[in-house]
Structure 1
């Protein structure tokens, strides 16, 4: 389904996020470090609404060359929303504020010791996107119609875990959790479903 990048789509997505009953993080282990990512919505090349996906720079110390939503660790005293907005500025040159935030999704605990809060934001000025080469190798616009396809995601088993590994099919790549899990939950929120993703597994290479 096409979702034009316009005020009506913004309202619809904001309403879907508001209707989503987000799980709290009261039961999360205190040892997990807080982090946040931005599900940043902008215009695709075909004027559909798209989310921004980055390919991490190959020289980074952690998770180099992997697909990711813009984001990172929360600074001391920083809220997840503040962290997501700061990381958008640092990685893509997008300076947004609280008025651009449409909602938040469930926190996702990672095998590498982080609790990630996804923050949905509306990035109206897509011309302002300037990837920071120190952190981002490339930035891609994924039309929402793409993540809503029936064949966009699949689930597979691995011998190291009883939990299913989720994979998002993007062009010739397979994108795994946590990124795939967060995008999948956002897809479900758009459809009005309260689907949980904390039980979806990451591949073993992402456990460190």
Structure 2
């Protein structure tokens, strides 16, 4: 399912983003980076040696520096993790903030890389990088109940396994807003307990 840059831009302009006022959390940003002229996005697996969330599936991203805008942070992290440098004109828009159990306030940034970029994954941060077709996320998620929370855990089937929130929540909202034209909210979806640390 290819989407044009104009389509993504228009969908994000129609979307009324909901930021969260959570000064108790550390600000962070992730990039939903569209590649192959809008047919896929980049998904990484975090290196097993990282202190936090080692081995988990994630969108490129990380903590924002003081005074740094979320979109600039997402582009910086993309360059640090995958060697992909994008200018500010690659920024298409933002989705809703997502508060994590591990103490971060994530702002998802949609980026357009366009053609098939050359990637140079940083082995200190990334063990795998995949170009995932947008068709793969244009599916209904699975919801699981856990005894530790009243909220459902959201899971997306990607690459033959289930990817959990926050990544699953962010990608589900991208699917709803950009691919389906629906203003679906995802901040209430839960993360699995292993991601709470």
Which is worse superposed, 169-178 or 186-195? Answer: 169-178
CA RMSD of the aligned region, Å?
Answer: 1.3
After superposition, the C-alpha distances for 1:135-183 in whole angstroms (9 at most, x for unaligned) are: 1001011111111134xx2111111100000001113311100000000
Question: Alignment partner for residue 13 of structure 1, among 2, 8, 11?
Answer: 8
Q: TM-score, length-normalised on structure 1?
A: 0.91
Question: Alignment partner for residue 187 of structure 1, among 175, 178, 186?
Answer: 175
* Alpha-carbon distance in 1 for matches of 2:86, 2:126: 19
Report the counterpart of residue 166 of structure 1 in structure 2. Answer: 154
Structure 1 residue ranges without an equivalent (≥5): none
Q: CA deviation at 1:128?
A: 2.0
Question: Alignment partner for residue 40 of structure 2, among 42, 50, 55?
Answer: 50
Report the counterpart of residue 144 of structure 2 in structure 1. Answer: 156
3-state SS in 2 of match to 1:169: strand
Q: How many matched pairs? A: 196
Aligned structure 1 segments of 4 or more residues deviating by more than 3 angstroms: none
Paired residues of 2:84 and 2:117 also in contact (CA < 8 A):
no
* Alpha-carbon distance in 2 for matches of 1:91, 1:125: 19
Aligned ranges 1:95-114 → 2 under 5 Å: 95-114=85-104
Report the counterpart of residue 34 of structure 1 in structure 2. Answer: 27
Report the counterpart of residue 59 of structure 2 in structure 1. Answer: 69
Structure 2 residue ranges without an equivalent (≥5): none
Report the counterpart of residue 120 of structure 1 in structure 2. Answer: 110
